[in-house]
Structure 1
Amino acid sequence: MRIEFGWSLDGSAWADGTGAHGTARMGPRALVQLLQNRLGLTRPSIEQAVRVAEHARAIARADHPWPRGSFAVDPWSTATTLLSWRDAAVAAGARLRPAPGQPERIAALCAIEELRTASAAAPGAADDLRELVDVLEQEVTWPLGIEELICHEALTDLPGLWPQLLELLDRAGVRVTEVEAAVSRRPELLILEAEDEWSAAETAARLLAGREGAPLQILAGADTVVLDQELHRRDLPAVGVAEPAADRTALQILPLFLSLAVAPVDVQQLAALLDLRVMDAPESGGDHVGLVPARARAALLDALAQEPGTGGTAWRRTIAALEADQEISGSGLAIVRALDALVADPIPPAQLTPSRLRTATEPLGARLRALGQGDPGLTRATAHLQVLLDVLGTLDEGTALGERELSQIVDSAGGRAASPFARPEATTAWRTCSRPAQLLPRGGDVLWWGADRDDARTGVQWDAAEVEALTALGAHLLEPARLAALETDAGLRGLRGADRLVVVRTRRRTEKATAPHALLAHLAAERAEPGQGVAEVLAGLTLSPADALVDDGFELAGSRRPLRVPTPARIPEPPRDLTRQVAPAPHIVPPRLSYSQAENLLGCRQKWTFGNGLQIRAASVATVPTGNRMIGTLVHAVVEELVLSAEEEEGRTGPPTPERIREEIMAQVPRLASELELPGREVELASLREQAVRSLVEFFDRLGAAGLVITSVESRFEEPLTLHLRRGDLTVPFLGFRDVLAEDASGAPTVIDLKWTYAAQKYPDLFDTGEALQLASYAVSLHDDRTDVGYFLLSQGEFVASNPALDPHGRPTLDIEDLWSRGTTGMTEALEAIGDGVVDARSGQILLDAGQDLSTPRTEAKKTYARAREAARGAGSLVVDARCDYCEFSLLCGMRGDAS
């Protein structure tokens, strides 16, 4: 066997050797692995996170003063850094032993190494190299099976133990030589620079498609995802280069799961885990895509939408139903039970011990194994969990990890996962590599995709005293400049082996400006005339994609391809009429109506048709309340509980005290607004609590002063509603919940609707203009002409009512009969139109007719709606602002998005 060895050749294919039979092309990592195999020194690989954990134990035991302060504040990062320094010193050839007069950093590394050696800590790549040298220094009595090792670099130019290793191989019978100098060409250089990646990809794909079988190498210095799409459009195979990353789906499962295991529980994270899809295959029985089975996922997300917290009535009721569901069993039911237990009793941050973390993650491991069945993504997720467990196994059982340290461990344990786009497709048309040094010196053309600057790593920086100390311990250290030159020289050798270099790069990538690769500066310097700068040379060699377009098509670097210029398309104007004319749909009628449905029918018939008629809904995970909606639900529940518990409290007279209100708010937060308990939101929660206390004290005091006694809260009603359509009467149940129902001394009812909103003028305006349809619907359901109605604005602590004892602003009495008549007329007209197939977006149309759209300032839009309401009121109708700016269907109706 012959080996072609180069310092920068790791990642090369064996078949890329010099061409002789049995020649392999290798870099340092590949050569070490081969020698380990030949000498019987292979061992199971040890994950770096496990090594860091073991190193952290050694640091703690050594208790050296130099890293002590840093280790106390951030143990994991400190251990990671010290281990990287230790490995660099060992790879350089140093045998770390304490000695008098050593610099502090070297002394610390040596002290920690003593304890590391005593505890038989897991070896790394540097130890593998050290072991090879130690074994080869002894007499090797069996053949290595390597006839010749041809080096790209001189032995004296290599760092650390490498010169010694290669000399020992020579002594063991391997002929070690330097590669013959290849023909060093001065390749033709052409740089094509595009403004964006899409233009660059299109030009590169045309170049590849227009070639006629001439030899070509592709040097992919950046991912080729966009380029591959353009190649597929031209029936060419994908290059398939994409870097691994730490944010792949497989590596998100464990961090997301652990975020729920630690108190307090973030309900939005819980919703994200429930909705997480872990496999690309289509669902089979609803149990093979999500970590949580589909049936359970939907039910639990619905529960969170009702109560954005855990442990509440909706959550417990759903868990009980899932336990009884015969279609959910095995690992699917087990993960549901585990999640329930996890969020019911999360681990306090001060008790993140290895045993509790192992117990918490055990159901996750079982579920991943049950779902995996060879799926690479889930196999990677299972490995991520196993590495975490291995790290926990190195810790003392009494060790309590901090949340930050746990996060660091989880990140380190995951490493990086392969991209799903890293799938090269078979081709004989060109050869692909990712580093300039890997290019074969066979002439022809090289297409260099993504030639952006990538500064070479120079290793650990040691000062002069540290270099002297490490040299005394056996290290062979190169100056940083010489070390960087190894990679630079290798890259230039690879590039100079081509006849022509076609460089395709972009000025910006991922929204950041880029700079040309440093090797381009070296190539440009060779072409510079006296007094000419490198930047000037590069500018003279640079073309734009437009420069490759000629009269009859595309022409660049010997590649020709005919092009057809498409007829310019005129981008249509945004729609000015949002009405949809479809086939008559008399079958689309509501099986029941609520105020929210009635509001949609009046405000936007398309919104009602999409959402209620056709059952098009937002994803369940998007319906989990947050912000104002969550706070409103919380305060509603507080009022309900305060009223319902009043009779059970001995000695309770009058309204609840501020202390009782405050107590109830804090009791309801975990169930209905658990995100307010997250770290960093303490001030927000305290501010909200005191605001709600002041508001509810005002609410109860004002009701008492007005002589009103609350008789029920959240009382459900259901009344038949008959709408007289042309095709016949339609009777549907109209249902809802009255927030607060009170009575005065004579028994006359008053309905109060609670609103948490920062739009302080919205509800007073609806009341004053006689447009408060929701209050009218509640009043009609009571069938009592004496019924009074009003709003209570929870955020502002104010009533909006005609009763002067509640609201001193002298508001007019709401004409309930007229308002309800106008509302039912509007609902009838809407259902008539939908039945006829005429479906408009009335709320959006009002804006368009006024020359406005969603970019119009809200203050101006409100004036437009006010004028429309006034005109409709004069015609005996209603106008409802359906808030197109918040509507999830605004893309479908045409109010939002690109009309082209």
Structure 2
Amino acid sequence: MQIEFGWSLDGTAWADGAGATGRVRMGPRALVQLLQTRLALTRPSVDPAVRVAQYSRAVAVADHPWARDSFEADPWSTATTLLSWRDAAVAAGAQLRGAGALPERIDALCAIEEQRTVAAPAPGAADDLREIVDLLADDVSWPLGIEVLQCHEVPDHLPGLWPRLLTLLEDAGVRIEQLAPAATGRPELTVIEAEDEWTAAETAARVLAGREGAPLQVLAGTDTVILDQELHRRGLPALGVAEAAADRTALQILPLFLSIAVDPVDVQQLASFLDLRVMDAPEDGRDHVGLVPARVRTRLLDALADEPGVGGPAWQRALAALEVDEKVSDGGLAFARTLSDLVTTPIPPAALTPSRLRAAVEPLGARLRALGQGDPGLTRASAHLQVLLDVLETMDPDRALAPRELSQIVEASGGRASSPFARPEATTAWRTCSRPAQLRPRGGDVLWWGADREDAHTGVVWDSVEIEALTALGADILEPARLAALTTDAGLRGLRGAERIIVVRTRRRAQKATAPNALLAHLAAERAAPGEGVADVLAQLTLSPGETLIDGRFELAGSRRPLQRPAPTRIPPPPEDLTRQVDPAPHLVPRSLSYSQTEDLLGCRQKWTYRNGLQIRAASVATVPTGNRMVGSLVHAVVEELVNTAESEDRSGPPSGERIREEITAQVPRLASELQLPGREVELATMREQTVRSLVEFFDRLGAAGLVITSVESKFAEPLTLRLRRGDVTVPFTGYRDVLAEDAAGDPTVIDLKWTYAAKKYPDLFDTGEALQLASYAWSLHEDHADVGYYLLSQGEFVAANPALDPHGRPTLDIADLWSRGTRGMTDALDAIGEGRVDARSGQILLDAGQDLSTSRSDAKKTYESARATARAEGALVVDARCDFCEFALLCGMRGDAS
């Protein structure tokens, strides 16, 4: 075997070895692996995270005073850093053993190394190199099968143990040859700089498309995802260069699972886990495959949408429904039970031990294995889990882990996963590599994609005293500048072997400014006249993408391609009329109506048609309550429980502030569990005290007004007849009355509870006679003397005509007139929808006023106030459907690119 060896050649394909049988190109790591195989030194690989965990035990046993405080504060990071220093010292040739007075850092490394017999970390790459050197030094006459080792670098200029290794190989019969510098001239250099990656990709794709089969080497200094899209547009194969990363989907499964296994449970994370799809659907399937079976996912997500917490009535009802659902498999039901047990009894942070974690992740491992069946993403997720289990196996099973330490361990266990875009496609004309040193010095052209500056990797930096100590321990420490020069010289050798270099780069990438690769400065310096700066030379060699277009053709560095300028496309203006005229749809009649549907019919008929007529809904994961809606549901439940338990608590008067506070605390895990997350303590405490003050005021004011609560959250379903042009339709009008009370005469009062920071909205609706929700509640009672009002929970104020509740002297709400206007609006909307004329009224009001979704909320409110006043004068109603929050704004045309 003949080996071409270079310090920067790791990652080079064996096929790059000049095409001759038995000749390969190798870097340091590849050569070590080959020698391990030939010398029978191979061993199972050990994940870096496992080595850190093992080394952490050695650090703890050594208990060196220099590292003690850091290790106690952050054991994982400290062990990781110490291990990297230890490996660097071993690779440099140091024998880490105590030898008199040493610098503190070196002394700590030696003290830890002496504990290898007690807590031995698995060997790493540095140990592999040391083991080979030690074995060859014992005069082993094992046949290596290597005839010639041709070195790009001078052996004595290599760092650490490498000069010694090459000498031992020569003693073992391997002929070591110094490769003479290739006869390279000064390649022609052209730099194309674009403002953005899309323009750069288009230019690079034109270069490749215009080669007409001529050989070319592609040096991909960054990922080629966008370039590959441009190549596909031209019918060319993708280069498929994309770096591995730690944020791939496969590596997010385990962290997401652990986030719901540790107390407190984040219901938003739980919803994300339930909705996580990990495999594409089979060809005959309707849904993508998720970690959680589809029917289980739907039931539990609906429960979270009702109650954003776990373990409450909605969650239990969902589990009970799954138990009797014949379409749920035994495995799916078992996973649902396990998941429920996990999130209803999560691991307390104080009990976050390796043994508890191993038990918690066991069902995830079983589920991944059941679904995997060779799927690369799930196989990678299973490997992530297995590494975590291996790390936990090295630890004391009862040692408590801090949440931050667990997060570090999980991240380190995942490593980096390959990109789904890293899929090169077959091509014979181009050879692709990712580093300049990997270029074959065979002349021809090189297209350098993404020639951006890279940070130099100079390894661990030791001070002069430490270098002296390590040298005494057998190390050969190379200066950082000389180490960086090895990489620079290797890159320049590869580039100078080309006849022409075409650089295509962008001035900005990922919204950050970029700088040219340092190797371009070296190439430019060779062309600089006396007194001329490198920047000036590069500026002379740089073209913009527009300068490559000559007489309607693309021409650059031998690549030519005809271009056709498309006719300019005029982007249509946003629609002026949001009304959709479609075929008549008399079948779109509601099976039942509620106030929320009434709002949609009056405010935006398109919204009702999409949501209720066509049943287009947001995904369940997007409907899990949060913010004001979550807090409002919580306070509603608190009021309901306080009223319903008054008799059992033998309480005749209003509840005390302490009783209200207790009930809030009891309901938070079921209805607002996200407020228990770390960092939200102030928000929870503020909400609790604000609610206590508000509810004390609520019950006291009702009592002072002589009102007695008779029911809360009382459901009603009253028949409503709508006289449509195509015939009368009777549907149930349904809803829940928040609070129903009676005065001494038995006359009812309905109070609707609102948690909102829009303090003027509901008083304005009441004062202008447009509080349709209150009118619907009063209508459902069929009482002539029913009174109505709002209670604003966050402000602690009533909005009502009863002066005992609200001293502002508000007018009595005309229930009959308001309900009549509301039913007339519903009838008109359903008539129009049945005839195929569907408008977006709220959006149209904005457009008619020359406004859109970018209009400030204060200006939009003025527009709606004017529209409401006009409608009142005509005996109609206008409802602000809040287009800025509507999930259908893209469908109606209010949001999105009109082109």
Fold-level similarity (TM above 0.5):
yes
Contact 1:190 1:503 in 2 (8 A): yes
- AA partner of residue 733 (structure 1): P
SS in 2 for 1:781: helix
Distance in 2 (alpha carbons) for counterparts of 1:227 and 1:722: 62
Contact 1:214 1:444 in 2 (8 A): no
Shift of 1:284: 6.6
Larger mean CA deviation between 377-386 and 890-899 belongs to 890-899
C-alpha offsets along residues 772-813 of structure 1, whole Å, 9 cap, x if unaligned?
A: 000011101101101000000001000000000000000000
Superposition RMSD on alpha carbons, in Å? 1.0
Counterpart for residue 727 of structure 1: 726
C-alpha offsets along residues 664-707 of structure 1, whole Å, 9 cap, x if unaligned?
A: 00100000000000111111111100000000001000100111
Counterpart for residue 714 of structure 2: 715
Contact 2:54 2:120 in 1 (8 A): no
Distance in 1 (alpha carbons) for counterparts of 2:248 and 2:284: 24
SS in 2 for 1:868: helix
Shift of 1:184: 1.6
Distance in 1 (alpha carbons) for counterparts of 2:699 and 2:578: 46
Shift of 1:457: 0.2
- AA partner of residue 228 (structure 2): D
Q: Does 1:58 align with 2:21?
A: no
User: How do residues 207-286 of structure 1 correspond to structure 2 at under 5 angstroms?
Assistant: 207-282=207-282
Shift of 1:875: 1.2
C-alpha offsets along residues 365-414 of structure 1, whole Å, 9 cap, x if unaligned?
A: 00000000000100000000000000000001221110000000000000
Larger mean CA deviation between 513-522 and 179-188 belongs to 179-188
Distance in 1 (alpha carbons) for counterparts of 2:284 and 2:418: 26
Q: Does 1:700 align with 2:692?
A: no
Distance in 1 (alpha carbons) for counterparts of 2:719 and 2:639: 29
Q: Does 1:830 align with 2:832?
A: no
User: How do residues 59-78 of structure 1 correspond to structure 2 at under 5 angstroms?
Assistant: 59-78=59-78
Counterpart for residue 123 of structure 2: 123
Shift of 1:330: 4.0
Distance in 2 (alpha carbons) for counterparts of 1:598 and 1:155: 83
C-alpha offsets along residues 4-52 of structure 1, whole Å, 9 cap, x if unaligned?
A: 1100000001111134431011101111111111111110000000100
Q: Does 1:325 align with 2:325?
A: yes
Q: Does 1:82 align with 2:82?
A: yes
Counterpart for residue 346 of structure 1: 346
Identity within the alignment, %: 78
Distance in 1 (alpha carbons) for counterparts of 2:798 and 2:144: 91
Counterpart for residue 889 of structure 1: 888
Shift of 1:288: 6.3
Distance in 2 (alpha carbons) for counterparts of 1:108 and 1:352: 30
Shift of 1:285: 6.2
SS in 1 for 2:115: helix
Counterpart for residue 572 of structure 2: 572
- AA partner of residue 751 (structure 1): V
Q: Does 1:36 align with 2:36?
A: yes
Counterpart for residue 686 of structure 1: 685
C-alpha offsets along residues 423-481 of structure 1, whole Å, 9 cap, x if unaligned?
A: 00010011000000000001000000000000220000001111111111111111100
Counterpart for residue 306 of structure 1: 306
User: How do residues 428-577 of structure 1 correspond to structure 2 at under 5 angstroms?
Assistant: 428-577=428-577
Counterpart for residue 652 of structure 2: 653
Counterpart for residue 606 of structure 1: 606
User: How do residues 275-424 of structure 1 correspond to structure 2 at under 5 angstroms?
Assistant: 275-282=275-282, 289-424=289-424
Distance in 2 (alpha carbons) for counterparts of 1:286 and 1:301: 18
- AA partner of residue 852 (structure 1): Q
Contact 2:58 2:118 in 1 (8 A): no
Larger mean CA deviation between 19-28 and 723-732 belongs to 19-28
Distance in 2 (alpha carbons) for counterparts of 1:871 and 1:471: 90
SS in 1 for 2:733: strand
Contact 2:58 2:120 in 1 (8 A): no
Shift of 1:552: 2.9
Distance in 2 (alpha carbons) for counterparts of 1:15 and 1:579: 64
C-alpha offsets along residues 458-512 of structure 1, whole Å, 9 cap, x if unaligned?
A: 0000011111111111111111000000000000000000000000000000110
- AA partner of residue 424 (structure 1): P
Shift of 1:896: 1.1
Distance in 2 (alpha carbons) for counterparts of 1:121 and 1:423: 36
Counterpart for residue 859 of structure 2: 860
Shift of 1:886: 0.7
Shift of 1:139: 2.4
Distance in 1 (alpha carbons) for counterparts of 2:283 and 2:640: 41
Contact 1:331 1:366 in 2 (8 A): no
Distance in 1 (alpha carbons) for counterparts of 2:16 and 2:285: 48
Distance in 1 (alpha carbons) for counterparts of 2:163 and 2:19: 26
Contact 2:739 2:751 in 1 (8 A): yes
- AA partner of residue 73 (structure 1): A
Distance in 1 (alpha carbons) for counterparts of 2:403 and 2:817: 61
SS in 2 for 1:190: strand
Distance in 2 (alpha carbons) for counterparts of 1:383 and 1:423: 21
Larger mean CA deviation between 3-12 and 329-338 belongs to 329-338
- AA partner of residue 56 (structure 1): S
Contact 1:287 1:332 in 2 (8 A): no
Distance in 1 (alpha carbons) for counterparts of 2:249 and 2:319: 27
Distance in 1 (alpha carbons) for counterparts of 2:14 and 2:830: 72
- AA partner of residue 771 (structure 1): E
Counterpart for residue 762 of structure 1: 761
C-alpha offsets along residues 142-193 of structure 1, whole Å, 9 cap, x if unaligned?
A: 3111111111101011001111111111111111111132112200000000
Counterpart for residue 798 of structure 1: 797
Contact 2:55 2:120 in 1 (8 A): no
Distance in 2 (alpha carbons) for counterparts of 1:330 and 1:419: 35
Distance in 2 (alpha carbons) for counterparts of 1:710 and 1:19: 90
SS in 2 for 1:45: coil
Gaps of 5+ in 2: none
Q: Does 1:820 align with 2:816?
A: no
Counterpart for residue 879 of structure 1: 878
Distance in 2 (alpha carbons) for counterparts of 1:239 and 1:824: 63
Distance in 2 (alpha carbons) for counterparts of 1:552 and 1:726: 63
Contact 1:4 1:18 in 2 (8 A): no
Larger mean CA deviation between 284-293 and 316-325 belongs to 284-293
SS in 2 for 1:417: coil
Counterpart for residue 105 of structure 2: 105
Shift of 1:855: 1.6
Contact 1:245 1:419 in 2 (8 A): yes
Counterpart for residue 809 of structure 2: 810
Distance in 2 (alpha carbons) for counterparts of 1:236 and 1:554: 17
SS in 2 for 1:36: helix
Contact 1:96 1:109 in 2 (8 A): yes
Distance in 2 (alpha carbons) for counterparts of 1:463 and 1:283: 62
Counterpart for residue 10 of structure 1: 10
Q: Does 1:426 align with 2:426?
A: yes
SS in 2 for 1:854: coil
- AA partner of residue 355 (structure 1): S
C-alpha offsets along residues 284-341 of structure 1, whole Å, 9 cap, x if unaligned?
A: 7678611101111111111001000111100011012112222222432232122101
C-alpha offsets along residues 90-139 of structure 1, whole Å, 9 cap, x if unaligned?
A: 00111100111110000000000010244332110000000001111122
Distance in 2 (alpha carbons) for counterparts of 1:552 and 1:874: 64
SS in 1 for 2:850: coil
Distance in 2 (alpha carbons) for counterparts of 1:332 and 1:474: 60
Counterpart for residue 870 of structure 1: 869
SS in 2 for 1:648: coil
- AA partner of residue 551 (structure 1): D
Distance in 2 (alpha carbons) for counterparts of 1:347 and 1:733: 46
Contact 1:288 1:371 in 2 (8 A): no
Distance in 2 (alpha carbons) for counterparts of 1:771 and 1:653: 36
SS in 2 for 1:278: strand
Contact 1:332 1:367 in 2 (8 A): no
Distance in 1 (alpha carbons) for counterparts of 2:654 and 2:281: 58
